[in-house]
Amino acid sequence: MQCRVRVFAPASVSNLGPGFDVLGLAIERPGDVVEAEFRDSPGVEIAAVTGDGGLLPADPGRNVAGVAAASLLQHLALSGIAAERLGGARPPTGVRLWVHKQMPLASGLGGSAASSVAGALAVNELYGRPLAKDALLPHALAGEQVAAGTVHADNVAPSLLGGIKAIRGYTPLEVLDLPVPPALRLVVVHPHTEVQTSYARRLVREHSFPIEIAVANLGNMAGLVAALHRGDLELLGRSLEDRLAEPLRIGLIPGAAAVKLAARAAGALGCSISGSGPSMFAVTGDDETAERVAAAMRIAFAEEAGLESEAFTGPVNVHGARRIP
């Protein structure tokens, strides 16, 4: 039987411009780490939450990692899988977690999704991997729902499974794999300010859109999917235009309009808001341009809005969440 397992779940960029709530990709870093071990009493206990500045609940019923872990634990117990896997009639039914937040809160980088994914994956690893990774999705979504109030898988699916994912539908949940062009590089810049996801979602959900706007986004979605299949990064860049959420949210991110211009001027093929912001992302076709774009975006945040920031550059994370030593 495992003593203690550690897992890492990566940050993710959702929406990818036109794909509000239906597109997302995983990045290499940052990400969250969750450790898990068995405990004698049933249910989930959170021994500690670190890296959150004391802002996240340690109550397992309100912590996204705790909720995801409990959801999987219950499934394993009810289905008898845990007993079968551990070769005993009465396997442990309790789990103790340590949740290490290693990414900023309310950043638009899918932080609650990463913690939810890590909570579910840690339990699965502890029990000797009884479920395939994609079967963990509903349990990670149960965690994410606590944070977001609604179910949306555009951060959870890529954080768990890696790559670029499209959520075709929710009833039933259907997650599609999109190809990852090998040359594609992401630039993600996180300015030191916060946007509350719930508020940013309300702005979009309570707005009515003329059909022309919906048509423009559908065209860009089609362009984006075609671009990924063809490996056409120029087309991908032009297809990142979002007429639904971005115009309503960009005012929540000081300096964002200037950051977009700076990214393009430095060679980015396209630039938009990461999830509900305030992080912004851009795409390029090589590492050198990615570094240049990251520097230009950070300067724009500093000069236009007086905001410090950090940048993450690199390829798409195609593996998603994983066990770590």
Asked if 197 interacts with ligand HSE (CB under 6 A), we say: yes
Instruction: Report whether 247 contacts 222 (CB < 8 A).
Output: no
Asked if 220 interacts with ligand HSE (CB under 6 A), we say: no
Q: How many helices (H) and strands (E) does the chain have?
A: 11, 11
Q: How many CA atoms lie within 13 A of 159 on its CB side?
A: 36
Q: Quick one: which segment of 4-12, 50-58, 146-154, 302-310 binds ligand HSE (CB under 6 A)? A: 146-154
Nearer to ligand HSE, 153 or 307 (CB): 153
- CA-nearest of 243, 235, 176, 232 to 209 is 243
We find the least distance from the C-beta atom of residue 115 to ligand HSE, in angstroms, to be: 13
Q: Quick one: which segment of 76-84, 147-155, 170-178, 233-241 binds ligand HSE (CB under 6 A)? A: 147-155
Site for ligand HSE in 20-59 (CB under 6 A): 20-21
Asked if 14 interacts with ligand HSE (CB under 6 A), we say: yes
Nearer to ligand HSE, 95 or 245 (CB): 245
Determine the size of the site formed for ligand HSE (CB under 6 A).
14
Asked if 246 interacts with ligand HSE (CB under 6 A), we say: no
Strands 94-100 and 43-50: parallel
We find the least distance from the C-beta atom of residue 35 to ligand HSE, in angstroms, to be: 25
- CA-nearest of 203, 197, 155, 150 to 15 is 155
* From 119, 275, 285, 320, residue interacting with ligand HSE (rule: CB under 6 A): 275
We find the least distance from the C-beta atom of residue 272 to ligand HSE, in angstroms, to be: 11
* From 133, 139, 152, 185, residue interacting with ligand HSE (rule: CB under 6 A): 152
Site string for ligand HSE, 154-183 (x = CB under 6 A): xx----------------------------
What token pair was written down for 273?
């808001």
Backbone angles phi, psi at 253, to 5 degrees: -115, 100
Strands 270-273 and 23-39: unpaired
Nearer to ligand HSE, 63 or 155 (CB): 155
Residue type, 225: V
Nearer to ligand HSE, 71 or 276 (CB): 276
Instruction: Report whether 107 contacts 126 (CB < 8 A).
Output: no
What token pair was written down for 306?
């007086």
249/241 Cα distance (integer angstroms): 14
Query: Could you give the dihedral angle defined by the CA atoms of residues 72, 73, 77 and 82, in that order, rounded to the nearest 10 degrees?
Result: 90
Cα distance between the two ends of the chain: 16
Asked if 15 interacts with ligand HSE (CB under 6 A), we say: yes
Nearer to ligand HSE, 15 or 71 (CB): 15
What token pair was written down for 236?
């991908």
Q: Applying CB under 6 A, which residues contact ligand HSE?
A: 14-15, 20-21, 148, 152, 154-155, 197, 200-201, 245, 275-276
